[in-house]
Structure 1
Amino acid sequence: PGHPYGRSDRNHERQTARPSLIGSRITPHPHSSDASNSQDSFEEAHLVREKWKQVQGLAEMFWNEWKHEYLKTLQLRHKWQGKRPNLQEGDIVLLKDNQAKRNQWPMGLISKTLPGEDGLVRKVQVEIVKDGTRKAFSRPVTEV
């Protein structure tokens, strides 16, 4: 939200998410050899560290909300109301991993589909590359 070209009518500064996340612009403190400024530098460095921690907390909160709320909307589940295409070999998927840190979910390639008794794909065999080694494992479709 702002000017359609990313500029505010009031101050003509480019609109970004940064002001809403950290509240203000972080400006570097001018370096000085004056001893009285060393305390100011220390206090400002402390404030920057605290602001960084606050931003990391907000980013973590956003990641958790995205993971638990928005991601579910991408996996539409219209039970028994219509046919949907099954996952297929060669599809690239994002793997759900509750232990992974923010933005660290691995991507994988479906190498094999495992249908259930009803003929619908219920599990898939996924290949990922981790630490330069290709690994394959099975996952239910609800976790890809």
Structure 2
Amino acid sequence: MSANTTNTNIDQNVLAALLDRLIPAIDDLPSAGQMGLAEEIIRLSGQQDRFSKIFTNAMGSFASINPNFITSDGTEQDAAIRAFESNSPELFDSILTISYIVYYKDERVHKRIGWSGNTPQPDGNEMEPWDESILENMRKREPFWRQV
């Protein structure tokens, strides 16, 4: 796929470099940009009404303010990100939020943090059988409400 997707003007290379700084590598898990999440972030942002326009605007604004972001060193990239967050908190938040959503959906992250991703019921956390005696004291109380 080309650097720009067909439905947006978001440069995947800029997004991947940004992801590398926002969510760096840890132990055997690569940074978010190196995990190849940029395409999924762009795809998902296009499908979510709450992200569609603001994410495209955020990435466009970030790229136009920081035209040399990809070729900058880590310290310069971090400074650019901090400045963008400070000057455009809503736009920055849209980038960060959807990046986290996609990152924490990834099976590699699930494995790294030890999360199964399964729903708790019916196969997960088993509950003790209900003990009716728990309500015994409440049943002995006089009603403190008015019948209507």
Structure-1-length-normalised TM-score: 0.20
Larger helix fraction of residues: 2
Q: Which structure exhibits the higher relative contact order, with contacts defined as CA atoms closer than 8 Å and separated by 6 or more residues?
A: 2
Larger strand fraction of residues: 1
